[in-house]
Amino acid sequence: MNTQTTHRGRDRGGSGSASTLRVAVVGPGGWGRQHTRVFAARADTDLVAVVGRHPDRTAKAAATLGARAYTDIDRMIEAERPDLVSVSLPNEEHFEPTMRLLEHGIPLLVEKPLVFDLHQADTLLAAAAEQDTFFAIDFNHRYAEPVRRTRRAIENGSIGDPVFATWRFGGEANPGDSPHKNIIETQCHAFDMLEHLLGPITSVAAQMTNKTYSAWSTVALALEFDNGAVGTVLGTYDSSYAYRDTHLLEVNGTTGRAVIHDTVRSLELARVGDETASVWQPGYFDDEARSFHATFDRYVDDMLAAFRAGSPPPVPASAGRRALLIAQRAIESHETGARTAVEPDAPVTSPTEQEPA
């Protein structure tokens, strides 16, 4: 492995464990604006650099943020020596920049999806494992208040033993080169969330349609969980994020049910045989809890606490590989017309031990 820079913060906390962390963001546009917003605003981080593809736009973003602008990752690392790099790039362009950063041994937070190819995912994870690099991925839906409360309801037995879960999520199309962008880059949230709440998915059966444009824009999946529960996923790029309940998650147990509306809007908890239900929703002054963007702030709180403590990430990059594996098995199910098993996670191997895809 060509490690071009020995990074002073690579031992999961490094110099930053008792000081302000120097952070760089690669990809300051799109959702990357949330990355720059968070790290520029925190008292315990210093946003020192942004790296973009377009010099003028990158310089403008950097000037607004009080950071320095770069168009080359290697030059930025050499000049800034950041403690942590946060990566938010176009969804199908993650592999090369992430691999370059891992070759430097720099702790990373990357956006979902990890990549679109399982061999590339394994290559990234193996590179991180080889240098014991802190390698986190952003599945911020886990940090929404209704999700936290639903997880507690499952863990404390409030809804009994989970029997089925239903996930519906989607909005306008996000076209790209892959015909499976919806299931890989957006429904990765479904796979991560459902396993976060109910445990491992063991099989999947898929139906897909490309009715509106040349991609599998809407998918309907039937799932089986290791605990005996079943589930459904309806994920679409043929809807609108403007619709009420564009996201709906239900977990139904033997003694009750939890229903989440639009990730952060509300949670209903009901008991079998009771026509009333308890509802959580953000109060008048609780703007933070009603903001989807604030789920990323919550995640960064948790992620940086782990980083400073020298602990593994609360959501490791391997969770991105797991979501991609489930997506790939769903694609195989659609192509073969058969239910497809989802195998348990395999141990990470070195790049030289992996077979090409």
Distance CA 184, CA 115 (A): 9
At residue 345, the pLDDT reads 86
At residue 18, the pLDDT reads 56
Q: Two tokens at 111?
A: 């956006």
Q: Two tokens at 352?
A: 């030289």
pTM for the model: 0.92
Cross-sheet strand order for the sheet of 266-271: 277-280, 266-271, 256-261, 247-253, 162-170, 230-236, 218-225, 201-209, 340-341
Mean pLDDT by 10 residues, the chain (357 residues): 38 53 96 97 98 96 97 97 97 95 97 98 98 97 98 97 98 94 98 98 98 96 98 98 97 98 98 97 96 97 98 98 98 98 78 45
Q: How many residues does the chain have?
A: 357
Distance CA 121, CA 68 (A): 30
Distance CA 101, CA 89 (A): 13
At residue 71, the pLDDT reads 97
Note every long-range contact of 205-208, with CB atoms under 8 Å and residues 24 or more positions apart, other chains counting.
205/333, 205/338, 205/339, 205/340, 206/330, 206/331, 206/333, 206/334, 206/340, 207/334, 208/183, 208/334
Strand partners, 155: none
Q: At what angle do helices 145-155 and 188-198 cross, to 10 degrees?
A: 30
Question: Residues 330, 95: contact at Cβ < 8 Å?
Answer: no
Question: Residues 128, 317: contact at Cβ < 8 Å?
Answer: yes
At residue 55, the pLDDT reads 96
Distance CA 306, CA 299 (A): 11
Strand partners, 111: 138
CA proximity to 146, closest of 138, 157, 154: 154
Tell me which DSSP letter residue 184 carries: I
Burial class (CB in 10 A: 0-12, 13-18, 19+), 1: exposed
Could you tell me if residue 158 is left (phi over 0), alpha (psi between -120 and 50 degrees) or otherwise beta?
alpha
Cα-Cα end-to-end distance for the chain: 21
Strand partners, 219: 208, 235
Q: What is the largest CA-CA distance in the chain?
A: 64
At residue 349, the pLDDT reads 58
Q: What angle do CA 85, 196, 238 make, to 5 degrees?
A: 80
Question: Residues 39, 66: contact at Cβ < 8 Å?
Answer: no
Strand partners, 259: 250, 268
Distance CA 255, CA 273 (A): 9
Task: For the chain, state the CA radius of gyration.
Answer: 21
Question: How many angstroms from the chain centroid is the CA of residue 52?
Answer: 21
Backbone angles phi, psi at 306, to 5 degrees: -65, -45
Strand partners, 251: 165, 258
Tell me which DSSP letter residue 314 carries: S
Helix, strand, coil % in the chain, rounded to nearest 5: 35, 25, 40
